[in-house]
Structure 1
């Protein structure tokens, strides 16, 4: 009887560590923290003066720029972006605290799948600097978000199946106990 209780306990309270695939858990080149929003193409780069984080949202590139040493946001700077032979000026959005690039030629170049080398020219007050980085655009970012949804759905199905198996096992044990106690 003790053995059955241990089995039931393991079925009802699974460890939660399910095997899964398609994920790179290494530090270098990790795609994101598992949220669908993190699947959007990103770029991160820094120098001794500035640090920049950018994310491609459809036909717009949003850029956040901070001072490297103090993490203070850089506001109202002159920011130029160059990629794949196209150049564009970013405009500051005070309400968002970021810079937006929506130049059609540059966005068309960045929309193509592959690695894109970007150069950012930043001039803020008395400081100016060039920052370089690479943005990886997946073959089909839409399919990547569906893949994350499928992984979530399969892990949920596994959890529900384990829960159902536990409930069924408890039902069987209760029926056996009832049968033994009544003598039938």
Structure 2
């Protein structure tokens, strides 16, 4: 007599089939929330969902991202892509103006002025003017930072993703436990029948 009933085999097969699916849903994987590949640091940064800005002139290029408390900017020479370090960089939005602080370790410029950063977090298109002085060279650059209304809720969306991941893990564990209980019950019944 076979110790495994049809229901036990079915539960075990279902558990084995669902486990990879549950693990795939629960694991972060190599793709971002929008399906983009996350193969390296540049791709991770590009998929972060933070508002971004780009501006360039014949001499310089500025790229940056708005995070929760600041605007982080990177400056390079437009033709050579050589980083411009230790320059003076001012940012204007309407009648608000502030100077950035150069951070040598990442080679970035951080705008932390609370009024200006708070204004940038409002939904809409923000036209920024950058005044850059690097040694004997100086330039004015302009760019637009687009902030969507849902960007303020990115953290809430991320927690929903975490809840789905947690639910998938719980579902996988429940399926495995149910299969183990049914298997144990069948083994116990088979042993008692002898």
Q: TM class, shorter-chain normalised?
A: 0.5 to 0.7
C-alpha root-mean-square deviation of aligned residues, in Å? 3.7
**TM-score, with length taken from structure 2:** 0.64
**Deviating runs (4+, > 6 A) in structure 1?**
none
> For residues 174 and 150 of structure 2, what CA distance do their matches in structure 1 show?
36
Residue of structure 2 equivalent to 1:143:
153
Q: How many residues align?
A: 174
Residue among 11, 16, 20 paired with 1:9: 16
Q: Secondary structure at the match of 2:82?
A: coil
**TM-score, with length taken from structure 1:** 0.67
Establish whether residue 97 from structure 1 lines up as the match of residue 107 from structure 2.
yes
Q: CA deviation at 1:145?
A: 0.7
What are the ranges of 5 or more consecutive residues in structure 2 without an aligned counterpart?
Answer: 27-32, 38-42
Q: CA deviation at 1:79?
A: 2.2
The one of the two structures with greater contact order (alpha-carbon pairs below 8 A, sep at least 6) is 2
Q: CA deviation at 1:111?
A: 3.4
Greater per-residue helix proportion: 2
Give the conservation status (yes or no) of the 8 Å contact 1:8–1:170: no
Give the conservation status (yes or no) of the 8 Å contact 1:84–1:109: no
What are the ranges of 5 or more consecutive residues in structure 1 without an aligned counterpart?
Answer: none
Is the alpha carbon distance of 1:13 and 1:25 closer, same or farther for their aligned partners in structure 2, counting shifts above 3 Å? closer
